[in-house]
Structure 1
Amino acid sequence: MKGATDVTYLLKFSPWQQALLATLFTWGVTALGATFVFGFKTIRDSALAIMYGFAAGVMIAASFWSLLDPAIELARELDKVPWLVVSSGFILGGLLLYLADKAIPLLQINQQAKHQPSRKVKQTILLVFSITLHNIPEGLAVGVAFGAIQAASGTQHLNMLLAAVTVAIGIGLQNFPEGAAVAIPLRQNGMSRTKAFFYGQASGMVEPVAGILGALLVTYVNQILPYALAFAAGAMIYVACKELIPEAHARTKAESHWAILGIMAGFTLMMVLDVALG
């Protein structure tokens, strides 16, 4: 249990402070991915496929063991109908991401953009804004997970902390290839490395704000906690299925085994960590 005791220092902070630290981490991982623009103008498709697949596997595993399973237990403790609570929260989380995708579709910067400066600027702004909007529920997911710690007691306190850290790690892992996937295409289309890095990491800026709001919400409205945990799981599954898995397969096309290996590795790692430490 040494891995568990390593994170107990976080219990010294209030839930919103824990959420802030966690989402600063997820933002930092986005920025770390964007730094690839300084060393590379392109990344091997097989490497990106593994990264996207790994992030998807982590998020799928964390959605159940770190979010849905605790949500079911909390629903029982609050004398609610567990299946109704988790299914409604889960669907709402996915629905919010779906509406975000419909409101501002993610745009790809294509080669024609560098010959059309005004169009290039517009696409860049929309690209960053759409990913930023997409990251709001992800920040909420982290905040909700840390806010849930407040309602736990006894041994559950540590278990919920470990679950929240797992969620933050999962979101952070999927942010890493996202930062690179934004910055590198911008560099390929003629933007300077510094500007490409700025836009690449900018999408993660909103996560600390959303994380604090999520933590405060569930801290003061305890009855919505199981719904909120299920909501976070729905948001994570949507991201994994809508963006990460298709992107992982698209990167390798015929050689889809790289994507599958990444998904299996990410899922296995998070499953082992959640079961062993939880």
Structure 2
Amino acid sequence: MSTLLLIVLFTAIGGILSVMAAGVFLLLPEQQRQNVLPHGISFATGALLTGAFCGLIPHAFEEVAVADMPMLSATILIGILLFFILEKLLVWRHCHSHACEAHGEDSHDEHDHAHAHNHSHDNSRRATGMFIILGDSIHNFVDGVLIGAAFLTDPQLGIVTSLAVAAHEIPQEVGDFAILLHSGYTRKKALIYNMLASLTTVIGGVLAYFSLGDLHHILPYFLTLAASSFIYIAVADLIPSLHQKTDIKTSLQQIGFILAGVALILVMQSIAHRFEG
């Protein structure tokens, strides 16, 4: 199977199928969704960290000379800081547009402000939904580029990377669905918009194939950026949510599903390696 076909196939798995899985998840009763989602987050945490530390980073270092390793390590640090800044800007934008402005009003203006705030609330929620779609499209495009770069380095690494992407995309897509539904979108429209946004994963992968194919010297840096993305998502976004519950039963379940995510990536690495051999 050609590299381009593999990229198209696995970017579709990482994008479109994750949206479909999230859509099926939304058909579950609310209580079941609340019970299952934390397990998905734990599983994604293990898959992302294993994909980064046992897949992307080792392959990146294998592709460079010893003299370039410090720069490659610095790329991981820069990537983590960059993702922190980008997320900070997104949080600031949301705060500035909504709650922070409301809290900044003087108390004697609150009554006068209430009517205007309620009048624009629906439009604000709709804008938030569109912002989520735009942000998801960009995020999926970057995921596609990173999956494409991984396949150009090693098909085995590409498979592992696409699986790690899918593992964290499903819980994220569920969250995106929830935001879109809260913003006034119907389930059908939310599914269509998320499906369209997921197509950018395939676009990113195909563009990476044609634009990075002759630039193998920069592929290790894309791999380390992908690793820093996985590490940041797991450590900054997913793990803090797991700490919200500290009872023994929940903690053991979290550890179990994290280890399941680790095991999946390691097993898929082994299978892909044997298949390649």
Q: Compute the TM-score of the two structures, normalised by the length of structure 1.
A: 0.76
- Quickly say closer, same or farther: Cα 1:136–1:145, change in 2 above 3 A: same
**1:270 equivalent among 265, 274, 277:** 265
Q: Distance in 1 between matches of 2:85 and 2:209?
A: 23
Task: Output one character per residue of 1:214-260: Cα deviation in whole Å (capped at 9) or x when no partner.
Answer: 3334321121122222222112212222223334445x565444333
Q: Distance in 2 between matches of 1:113 and 1:28?
A: 36
Q: By how many angstroms is 1:27 displaced?
A: 1.4
Q: Which residue of 2 aligns with 1:233?
A: 227
Q: Distance in 2 between matches of 1:199 and 1:113?
A: 26
Counterpart of 1:89, as a letter, is T
Q: Which residue of 2 aligns with 1:216?
A: 210
Q: By how many angstroms is 1:121 displaced?
A: 0.6
> 2:19 matched to 1:31?
yes
Moved over 4 A (4+): 112-115
- Quickly say closer, same or farther: Cα 1:144–1:35, change in 2 above 3 A: same
- The answer as to whether partners of 1:100 and 1:133 remain within 8 angstroms in 2 is no
Q: Distance in 1 between matches of 2:16 and 2:149?
A: 19
Q: By how many angstroms is 1:117 displaced?
A: 1.5
Q: Distance in 1 between matches of 2:120 and 2:255?
A: 37
Q: Distance in 1 between matches of 2:266 and 2:240?
A: 22
Task: Output one character per residue of 1:60-119: Cα deviation in whole Å (capped at 9) or x when no partner.
Answer: 1111222111111111xxx342531431332343344334323433869x9x99993111
**1:196 equivalent among 186, 190, 201:** 190
- The answer as to whether partners of 1:89 and 1:227 remain within 8 angstroms in 2 is yes
Give the alignment's Cα RMSD to 1 decimal.
3.1
**2:79 equivalent among 93, 103, 112:** 93
Task: Output one character per residue of 1:14-51: Cα deviation in whole Å (capped at 9) or x when no partner.
Answer: x4443222211111223213313662363433311111
Alignment: residue pair count = 249
Counterpart of 1:98, as a letter, is F
- The answer as to whether partners of 2:60 and 2:220 remain within 8 angstroms in 1 is yes
Counterpart of 1:193, as a letter, is R
Q: Distance in 1 between matches of 2:129 and 2:191?
A: 13
Q: Which residue of 2 aligns with 1:69?
A: 58
The structure with the largest alpha-carbon Rg is 2
Q: Distance in 2 between matches of 1:180 and 1:107?
A: 20
Q: Compute the TM-score of the two structures, normalised by the length of structure 2.
A: 0.76
Q: Which residue of 2 aligns with 1:157?
A: none
Counterpart of 1:273, as a letter, is M
**2:177 equivalent among 180, 183, 192:** 183
- The answer as to whether partners of 2:125 and 2:184 remain within 8 angstroms in 1 is no
- The answer as to whether partners of 1:89 and 1:230 remain within 8 angstroms in 2 is yes
- Quickly say closer, same or farther: Cα 1:246–1:72, change in 2 above 3 A: same
Q: By how many angstroms is 1:144 displaced?
A: 0.8
Q: Counterpart of 2:213 in 1: which secondary structure?
A: helix
The runs of 5 or more residues in structure 2 that have no matched partner are 99-116
Q: By how many angstroms is 1:171 displaced?
A: 0.4
Q: Counterpart of 1:39 in 2: which secondary structure?
A: coil
Q: Distance in 1 between matches of 2:218 and 2:226?
A: 12
Q: Distance in 2 between matches of 1:113 and 1:198?
A: 28
Task: Output one character per residue of 1:127-185: Cα deviation in whole Å (capped at 9) or x when no partner.
Answer: 2222333333322221110121xxxxxxxxxxx22221011111012111222221134
Q: Distance in 1 between matches of 2:81 and 2:118?
A: 32
Q: Distance in 1 between matches of 2:183 and 2:133?
A: 15
**1:53 equivalent among 39, 42, 51:** 42
The runs of 5 or more residues in structure 1 that have no matched partner are 1-11, 149-159
